[in-house]
Amino acid sequence: MRIISGTHKGRRLMAPSTLPVRPTTDRAKESLFNIIQNRYYFEEKNVLDLFSGTGNIAYEFASRGSDKILAVDNNYNCINYIEETANNLGFNIATIKSDCLKYLKNCKQEFDFIFADPPYDYDSYQELKNLIFENKLVKKGGLLIIEHDKETQFEGDNIELRKYGTLQFSIFSF
């Protein structure tokens, strides 16, 4: 895994092979961030990275100038890896060890960007999306991005679908 752009452009990170993760591929991540970068400045934006895993997406936002990033994952080893890596890179990434749905049910904060990358066999994609919408967790003008496989489909207005091999991004504009 590598950081595609920003202050740490090209930096390779090696997560322990024991982490139960499936990081977003560099190609898909680069394409996604090109889309976002053409629409937004990253500075002074706050980000919520759900199912953060290795922190791959959080590091990319931080490298590009986002200064308030929260990474949520239910795996203690993933949280430890994110904290250690963020500290080594000088990134301001806060972490919470929690089930993402439980976190969303109690969340009162609004974010400019929410990125969610649940396991592909996740059976609560719709609940995840609905909680974010119902609790109004994305600021006006912000984005919700959900990474998923081709079997998962979302409906609604202001949704853009991007396909990269077997993975897809559903991008919701607010």
For 39-75, how does the pLDDT look when each residue is reduced to its tens digit (9 = 90+)? 898 998 999 999 999 999 999 999 999 989 999 999 9
Q: Is residue 166 part of a domain?
A: yes
Q: Is residue 6 part of a domain?
A: no
Query: Does residue 33 carry a pLDDT above 80?
Result: yes
Q: Is residue 163 part of a domain?
A: yes
Q: Is residue 95 part of a domain?
A: yes
Q: What is the pTM of this model?
A: 0.93
As a residue count, the chain comes to 174
Query: Does residue 156 carry a pLDDT above 80?
Result: no
Could you list the residue range(s) of the whole structural domain that residue 92 is in? 39-173
Q: Is residue 75 part of a domain?
A: yes
Q: Is residue 77 part of a domain?
A: yes
What whole-number distance in Å separates Cα of residue 122 and Cα of residue 110? 24
Q: Is residue 30 part of a domain?
A: no
Q: If you average pLDDT over residues 119-144, what whole number do you get?
A: 93
Say which residues have a Cβ less than 8 Å from residue 68's Cβ, sequence separation at least 6: 45, 46, 47, 92
Write out the E strands in the chain.
46-50, 68-73, 93-97, 111-116, 138-149, 159-164, 167-173
Q: If you average pLDDT over residues 19-48, what whole number do you get?
A: 88
- Please give the helix or strand (H or E) that residue 168 lies within, else none: strand 167-173
Q: If you average pLDDT over residues 10-29, what whole number do you get?
A: 84
Query: Does residue 23 carry a pLDDT above 80?
Result: no
CATH number at residue 145: 3.40.50.150
What total of structural domains would you count in the chain? Answer: 1
Grade residue 157 by pLDDT with cuts at 50, 70 and 90: confident
Q: Is residue 148 part of a domain?
A: yes
Query: Does residue 77 carry a pLDDT above 80?
Result: yes
